[in-house]
A and B are shown apart, each in its own frame.
Chain A
Amino acid sequence: MSKKEALRDRAGWKGLIVVIFAVLMVISTIFSIQFGSAKIPLKDIWTTFTGDIQSDFQNIIWNIRVPRTFVAILVGANLAVAGVLLQGIMKNPLADPYIIGVSSGAGLAGMIVLILYPHLPHILTPVAFIGATIVAFTVYALAWEKGIAPTRIILAGVAISAFLGSGISALMVFYSDRVQGTIDFMVGGLSARSWPQVEVILPYSIVGILLAIIGIRKMNLLMLGDRTAKSLGARVEWIRFSMTAVATLLAASAVSVVGLLGFVGLIVPHTARLIVGNDYRVLLPASIFLGAAILTASDTLGRIMFAPIEVPVGVIMGAIGAPFFLYLLRRKMV
């Protein structure tokens, strides 16, 4: 029986990593509620949650810190899952939500709203979402020829992104006086995100992550190569299509809430993969918790680093992400 024990041992070790990531998420959640323009004692957070005593900080906690942290957790998890799915689908370690056109689609749509219809801020999220989805499916359709080849998706994604990127630049040139209001969206930030944004993203997170969990076995089959996966009875094209749709749903909902937040979908799955390996049964939960933890921690850091000035989380992610990338390059992981 030593064989089985050894198997369980290995699984147990990886399971422990997942638990550690979950604990990290909880710790960064507590920090995120605690720190900001006003530091809140842990005692007050506790009493607010238990509802025993009225706290002075109750309003800040319930209406600012908690929903913002909630958005950070969901956005981090969504982008991480989108990235981990796309890397498997495209068989490319550099694939991330931006590769399928989600960023440029949401970006252009979002900029149109912010610049041309600044008086309609509430339509920003749905319009950005629609833009992301339309572009993602356009990229997919363009890449289609008797099936879908990962390289074709990546090339189509890059081309469409460049095209729409020039659209964004044109908008910024023609309406240079209104660019100021779009910066938060362009770099990706969580400032002033509250319960309405939670309501927008939560349903997509739940549905998307559930579908990703259902797809775990299929993703593992895909890892064995297209021919072997087919030989084992997998509908390879369908898995690619449906999992791309799930990734689009998750990434588009995240981008529509926080703007063009880069690197999360790239760094998190990579790191998780380095630590726990390729098995999606472990890789997926590890990415979810790590994504939520990193984004929440980065946002907290951005709030306290140069207080009272708030550094958008997108800037922090870029500052961590680019060197991380170079590190991967030196270690020949890419």
Chain B
Amino acid sequence: MSSLEAASISHSFSDKHVLKQIDLELKEGRIYSIIGPNGSGKSTLLHVLSRQLKPDHGQIYWKQADLYRLPPKKVAQELALLAQVNDVMDLTVEQLISYGRTPHKSMFQRLDEEDQIIIDEAIQLTKLEALRKRNVSQLSGGERQRAWIALCLAQQPKVLFLDEPTTYLDISHQLDVLEIVTQLQKTQNVTIVMVLHDLNHAAVYSDEVIVVKEGRIYGQGTPKEMMNPDMFKDVFNVHADIYEDKDNELLRIVMKPLKD
């Protein structure tokens, strides 16, 4: 069943057309990676899909309803975004995460036992138990990213959007983030939509990749369908050799500059 649908989306900043006539269908409980070169419009696409940025033209449908006409709070109960850049907060990890409960509470309602259980689960899943009383400003980059992910988890979303969640992190923390995301999809059937820079990560961790080139969808499909030498040449302007790991059917991509 398709849960999120984009119908002929166009958007421009000033005079620059960033998204051009985009149609898209995302199914429930899958992991999608949006890939493309810098400036291709992949972040803008993520923001349009996550109700951050109303597109100039076209509609987004969330379960057949126009996403931008639904009340923001109702949307926030089902869609969550991990922003690319997050300020350093003067809050404890637990306090930060507790903000994830906001969409589920009325204006003056306090957090109750049930909220605390959900917050605890988010802390567990992101392995932050030992750091829950620590101030967010004292955490390392990887720990901080996990705290912000936990904030999104406390929101209990049906779809989690992540905007380059691994950028600036050490490789072990990058993998931590991607493992959390995979686990979320497996155990809670959360749909994941993320913008990824690392194409090998996209190949390994996604059910489907959405390739964006110059504001248009170049193609959408499983990594095996999409990750081929022609695509790498057309979209990323590189030569790619693609190997398949026979045991667990994972792709391994080796990229080189194009020879003229």
Contacts and interface: CB of A to CB of B under 8 A. Distances in A.
A binds B: yes
Contacts, number: 64
A227 B81 contact: yes
Interface string B213-228: 0000000000000000
B72 A235 contact: yes
Given A227-B83, A277-B90, A232 B102 contact: yes
Interface string B61-90: 000000000001111110111010111011
Contacts of A39: none
A223 B80 contact: no
A225 interface: yes
Contacts of B100: 232
A230 B51 contact: yes
Interface string A232-246: 111100000000000
B99 A221 contact: yes
A233 B133 contact: no
B255 to A, nearest CB: 31
A114 to B, nearest CB: 44
A123 interface: no
B52 interface: yes
A232 B103 contact: yes
Interface string B160-197: 00000000000000000000000000000000000000
A278 interface: yes
B124 to A, nearest CB: 14
A180 interface: no
A33 B247 CA distance: 85
B72 A234 contact: yes
A224 interface: yes
B83 A225 contact: yes
A225 B84 CA distance: 11
A137 to B, nearest CB: 24
Contacts of B77: 233
A233 B52 contact: no
B102 A6 contact: no
Nearest to B81: A231
B83 A231 contact: yes
B50 interface: yes
B93 to A, nearest CB: 12
A228 interface: yes
Given A217-B107, A225-B86, A231 B152 contact: yes
A225 B103 contact: no
B99 A230 contact: no
B66 to A, nearest CB: 17
Contacts of B132: 3
Contact of B133 (A6, A223, A225, A235): A6
Give the interface centre of A6, A220, A224, A279 by most chain B CB atoms within 10 Å.
A224
Contacts of A228: 81, 83, 86, 148, 151
B145 interface: no
B90 A225 contact: no
Contact of A221 (B79, B90, B102): B102
B43 to A, nearest CB: 11
A227 B102 contact: no
Nearest to A238: B72
A234 B72 CA distance: 7
Nearest to A10: B92
A241 to B, nearest CB: 15
Interface string A306-320: 000000000000000
A231 B80 contact: yes
Nearest to B160: A231
B126 interface: no
B91 interface: yes
Contacts of B86: 224-225, 228
B72 A230 contact: yes
Contacts of A234: 72, 102
B52 A231 contact: yes
Contacts of A220: 99
A7 B79 CA distance: 29
A232 B89 contact: no
Contact of B89 (A3, A221, A223): A223
A331 B149 CA distance: 32
A230 B103 contact: no
Interface of B: 47, 50-52, 72-77, 79-81, 83, 85-87, 89-91, 94-96, 99-100, 102-103, 107, 132-133, 148, 151-152, 155
30 contacts: A6-B133, A7-B94, A220-B99, A221-B102, A223-B89, A224-B87, A224-B96, A224-B99, A225-B83, A225-B85, A225-B86, A225-B87, A227-B47, A227-B52, A228-B83, A228-B86, A228-B148, A230-B72, A230-B81, A231-B79, A231-B152, A231-B155, A232-B76, A232-B99, A233-B72, A233-B75, A233-B77, A233-B103, A278-B89, A279-B91
Interface of A: 3, 6-7, 217, 220-221, 223-225, 227-228, 230-235, 277-279
Given A6-B133, A232-B100, 17 more contacts: A3-B133, A217-B102, A217-B107, A225-B83, A225-B85, A227-B81, A230-B52, A231-B79, A231-B80, A231-B83, A231-B152, A232-B103, A233-B74, A233-B102, A235-B72, A278-B89, A279-B95
Top 9 A-B pairs ranked by shortest CB distance? A233-B76, A227-B83, A233-B73, A231-B81, A233-B103, A232-B102, A233-B72, A278-B90, A277-B90
